[in-house]
Amino acid sequence: MASMNVRSGDTVEIITGKDCGKQGKVIVTNPEKGTVIVEGLNMVTKHKKPRSAQEQGGKVERERAIDVSNVALVCPVCKKTTRVNHVLGENGKYVRTCHKCGAVIDAKAEKKAAKKASTRKSKKAE
């Protein structure tokens, strides 16, 4: 499967299924299967059997994986669901940007890269 435009920690909106229109934070991504697990959404009931005398059994609610094609990324700036553009950043690496407003979605990664570049320059100057 090709690379996904959604990463752990992103806010996404479900666009199909029983939770259509709800937003949540991505907990886990699985690029090999092309699925994501969204916090508090696509809940299923799992019947758990006690494995020892101290452990308690019963029904357990948990999140289930959703295909990545069924979620849309929510831009942190304009708060709209959007597609992702990949634009060459200042440090020579590609960053994800909002297709609608052009805001950088990978702001944390961009800041880290800029910080590393500035420390490298200062070390070379010495």
Provide CATH 2.30.30.30 ranges for the chain: 1-48+56-74
- pLDDT in single tens digits along all 126 residues of the chain: 567 889 898 899 999 989 899 999 999 999 999 999 999 998 999 999 999 999 899 999 999 999 999 999 999 888 899 988 888 888 888 888 888 888 888 756 555 555 555 565 555 555
In angstroms, the CA 78 to CA 37 distance is 23
Strands, E, within the chain: which ranges? 11-14, 23-30, 35-38, 43-48, 58-63, 66-67, 71-74, 81-82, 84-88, 94-98
Which DSSP symbol is given to 4?
P
What is the predicted pLDDT for the residue at 117?
56
What is the predicted pLDDT for the residue at 30?
92
Query: What is the third-level CATH fold of 1-48+56-74?
Result: SH3 type barrels. (2.30.30)
What is the predicted pLDDT for the residue at 101?
86
Do 63 and 39 form a contact (C-beta atoms < 8 A)?
Answer: yes
What is the predicted pLDDT for the residue at 89?
83
What is the predicted pLDDT for the residue at 92?
85
